[in-house]
Amino acid sequence: MSPTPVPTRTELEAAADRVAANAFRTPLVRLPVEGAPAPVYAKAENLQRTGSFKLRGASNFLARLAPEVRARGVVTHSSGNHAQGVACAAALAGVPATIVIPDGAPEIKVRRTLAWGAHVVRCANDKASREGTAERLATELGATVVPPYDHPWIVEGQASVGLEIAQDLPDVANVLVCVGGGGLLAGVASALRALGSTANVVGVEPTLAADAGDSFRAGRIVTWSAADVVRTVADGVRTQSLGVVNFDIIRATVDAFVDVDDEAILDGAAWMMREAHLTVEPTGALAFAAYRMLVTEGAPLLRPGPTVVLLSGGNADGARLAELAVRPLG
């Protein structure tokens, strides 16, 4: 089977137009990082309409469906942010949405999914249960499954984040992006390359769920067990493997991978809240945690020039925010 091609600029710009009907254009926020070798900016997807970039891919996918197919409704599976994105996009399109959410997902994400009018079904927290339940429900309802990450239309939608970064900061030297299933990373890297950017694109994941880096280095998709990935505090990237579509695109467009431990992730989230006044969930702090680690190590992977860290989401519950508010800043 031939590798999935990297989306073209024309395809990505068309997707961005579809996404713009639902999603906000989020800002690049200059971060107060003292002593940084170059300016550091946050792409603040925590300020997105649903608190996460996931609305972008969901909106593009639904807009791509034929009207008669879309009218029958959609189904998806997600630990929370994609759930909210699909629920929101479906509500705005006036179509029913059924969302499979695994046990252990943050309750704030469940509540916000329900608030968009979606029907929520719970399942065991492993890939087989999530996908199997979603497929069964789609068959029963005559609905269409919206993949969380492994689909060209999802990648196209997430790529709108990268288009905005390249347009707002044409001389960006480094872009650090968190990675779970790889839809966001594949999209951002595709957009930067489509616009001719030579920025250093680095995928970031937790040390406790570092399957993507393993896959990148091995040249094939490496799968981790559900028992392994569930350990990380970064619940938004507890996927067991990269998507097939995403892996092909990532291999062609991404420069490197790094992983960071959970303590560094929480330190990054606490710093972001108290020093930058931006609220992020642990997953949303992954890219900034990696930046701090790389600078401490002498920045071996960072090129000279401005850096963007992608804050993927801000849907943290009250208990987590209270913990971050008093966590000592490392």
CB contact at 8 A, 280 and 289 = no
Q: Domains, the chain, ranges and CATH?
A: 9-53+151-326 (3.40.50.1100), 55-145 (3.40.50.1100)
Residues 6+ apart with CB under 8 A from 100: 75, 76, 77, 78, 120, 121, 122, 123, 130, 133, 134, 137
What is the pLDDT at residue 187?
98
Share of the chain above pLDDT 70, in %: 99
pLDDT confidence bin for 45, thresholds 50/70/90: very high
All residues at 6 or more sequence positions from 227 whose CB lies less than 8 Å from its CB, including other chains: none
The DSSP line for 85-101 is HHHHHHHHHT--EEEEE
Question: Averaged over 298-324, what is the pLDDT?
Answer: 92
Q: Which two tokens stand for residue 97?
A: 């949405």
pLDDT of 162: 98
pLDDT at 127: 82
- State yes or no: pLDDT of 89 exceeds 90: yes
- Lowest average pLDDT, out of 103-117, 259-273, 277-291, goes to 103-117
pTM for the model stands at: 0.95
pLDDT attached to residue 109: 86
pLDDT tens-digit series, residues 161-206: 999 999 999 999 999 999 999 999 999 999 999 999 999 999 999 9
Share of the chain above pLDDT 90, in %: 88
